[in-house]
Structure 1
Amino acid sequence: MSRKGNRQTEAFELRVGSELVGSKGVYIVKEFLGEGGFGKVAKCSKLWSLEYYAVKIMKISREGQKEFEKMKMIQDLDPDENHLIKMYECFTYRNMTCIVYELLEVNFHDSLMNEQQLVPLCYIRVIAQQLLKALKALKSIGVAHCDIKLDNIMFEDLNDMNVKLIDFGLAVETNELLTGTKIQVTQFRAPEVILGLPLDESVDMWALGMVLACIYCGYYLFPSSTEYETIRAMVQIFGLPEADSVSQSVSQSVSQSVSQSVSQSISQSINFHLFSFYLFICSFHEN
């Protein structure tokens, strides 16, 4: 077997105790925190150091390079100040792309699963303020996250409710968001994505609103078995707009009556999504 073949085999035999040699040190895999189509995330210690990091390990690909490029843009924003995950370095080792991130405590999904009661509204306000600051920072550099969900928001410190937005593997520059692009998981998918309308960074605001509503209620706000059911539920909450405002670009797969009832409810600005969620939360709070 060729030397190249051996190196490729070693890349797939990543295990606890494996060493990843970067430009700023050697990282030793202590445990695996997650795994997906992208690769694996490992908790690693740094050789001759007491520090721990989260290392995202992927087969060399364009996706890994794109994530690194987006993270380089984000580092100029001051990740701590703007509640964005901090990247330390990116390197290639044994046919793998490795991105070294700060190690955070627990994501929202796991935290909610372990809670015996709903999160108080005063805590949700703090979390919302921090994540709105993160989205404002991303907007300032023309980047949309495109995958905001419970799993991609993590606590930096559970004691003071400090949170950070993570996983920019699907992030894109806003001017690259094409009409009809399918992004976001269904539970957090913005209506303009479902209907094939023009997209901008407001898709992230919608997803954030769904996250906050989920934290408050303890369940997903809209059904997600089909996009039709999701849109139908949105109409029941946001009401019926004027029929003459129906966009000509609405997806043909959605019935005409549903298209008419939802199109006006879709805003191209962040303010609409934020205001809609605010009204929704207030209605629950009053009841």
Structure 2
Amino acid sequence: MSWIHFRSVNRIQSDQNMSKKGRRKMEVFELMEGHYLVGNQGIYKVQEFLGQGSFGKVAKCTKLGSPECYAIKIMKSSWAGEREFKMMKLIKDLDPDENHLIKMYEWFPFQNMTCIVYELLDVNLHDSLMNEVQLVHLCWIRVIAQHLLKALKALKSIGVAHCDIKLDNIMFAELDSVNVKLIDFGLAVETKKLSTETKIQVTPFRAPEVILGLPLDESVDMWALGMVLASNKANHVINLDAMMHEHRDMFEAHDDDDHRAFIDLLKNMLEVNPQNRITPIQALEHDFITMKHLAGKSKAMYAGTAEEAMGKTPPSEAQVNPSCFFVPVPSPGKCRG
């Protein structure tokens, strides 16, 4: 195997980029498909780039000698990479599958970059919603809500706030399944270190106390999750009062009491006063999640559908019928891992 030779581009020649002490000129390296990254636990080959942002890029990679695929976050800033790795170390003892958190395998510096190796997930919630022509059915919203509430409960137990919950940072873990995980801990912080001057959350999901410069705690994540669950396509929040009528017209499987329970949960999650906002443990015991309100013969058919979605009974054909429910759209060419 031949070792990677990065292509040097745009050698910096401007005097403005030279220090007064005459520091040597720096080179900027361009990472391309087919290049190799040498980690601590193996050598990874870049197959394709899955996305990019101000931080750098995310690449789908294979590890030499293994059939597994990985998502490697490649950051231009060593400070940002080390900060995210520090947060991931804090949550490493939390079961990533049970608590619906992305799994990290290793961190390593390479050339002028910082790399964090994560499990490869499927598609994020934002992209899935953009591929849908209808609203998400409540049976699937309940599954997503339960999974993310478990994630918030786990983070709260170790005193960590995610601080960047949004549609893009929620991903489906497996092909053709409603099993979601919380990703991207680049802005996560220990709750005790949150201050009124902390710049967190994107505007559509920003909690009132962040906007107003009030004391902060992990309840900012509960507000953001409430906004996620209430969101429709392209981050536009739908009218809660109109939601019930829209779903009644759109879905054959519909129950007004279930919608009332959902709206009640949302109102508790979107409580303006963070001191009165529902906690993850309380939310997991809410009727919308436990489905206590669906007991009785008159609701047996709808309750059965809801239980199937929650994985409490074997799935039926109706559970995965796109004409009745929301089904995540998988990304092509996903590797196992």
The alignment status of 1:160 with 2:210, answered yes or no, reads no
Q: 1:145 to 1:139 in 2, by over 3 A?
A: same
Matched residues in 1 for 2:227 and 2:120: separation?
26
Alignment of 1:178-193 (within 5 A): 178-193=195-210
Contact 1:88 1:100 in 2 (8 A): yes
Q: 1:270 to 1:27 in 2, by over 3 A?
A: farther
Where does residue 152 of structure 2 map in the other structure?
A: 135
Contact 2:55 2:77 in 1 (8 A): no
**TM-score where L is the length of structure 2:** 0.64
268, 279, 284: which one pairs with 2:275?
268
Alignment of 1:269-284 (within 5 A): 269-271=276-278
Q: Which amino acid letter does the alignment assign opposite residue 193 of structure 1?
A: V
Deviation at 1:31, TM superposition (A): 0.7
Q: Which amino acid letter does the alignment assign opposite residue 118 of structure 1?
A: L
Identity of aligned pairs, percent?
68
The alignment status of 1:80 with 2:87, answered yes or no, reads no
39, 48, 52: which one pairs with 1:22?
39
Contact 1:82 1:130 in 2 (8 A): yes
Larger relative helix fraction = 1
Indicate the larger mover: 138-147 or 54-63. 54-63
113, 116, 120: which one pairs with 1:96?
113
Q: 1:158 to 1:138 in 2, by over 3 A?
A: same
- Bigger relative contact order, structure 1 or 2, given CA contacts below 8 A and separation 6+? 2
Matched residues in 2 for 1:218 and 1:35: separation?
19
Where does residue 127 of structure 2 map in the other structure?
A: 110
Contact 1:156 1:163 in 2 (8 A): yes
Q: Which secondary structure does the structure 2 equivalent of 1:20 belong to?
A: strand
**TM-score where L is the length of structure 1:** 0.75
Indicate the larger mover: 57-66 or 170-179. 57-66
- Indicate the RMSD between aligned Cα atoms, in angstroms: 2.9
Deviation at 1:47, TM superposition (A): 1.2
Q: Where do 5+ consecutive residues of structure 1 fail to align?
A: 223-263, 280-287
Matched residues in 2 for 1:83 and 1:272: separation?
17
Deviation string for 1:151-178 (max 9, x for gaps)?
0000002423000000000000001110
Matched residues in 1 for 2:56 and 2:234: separation?
30
Matched residues in 1 for 2:108 and 2:197: separation?
34
Deviation at 1:181, TM superposition (A): 2.3
Q: 1:272 to 1:132 in 2, by over 3 A?
A: closer
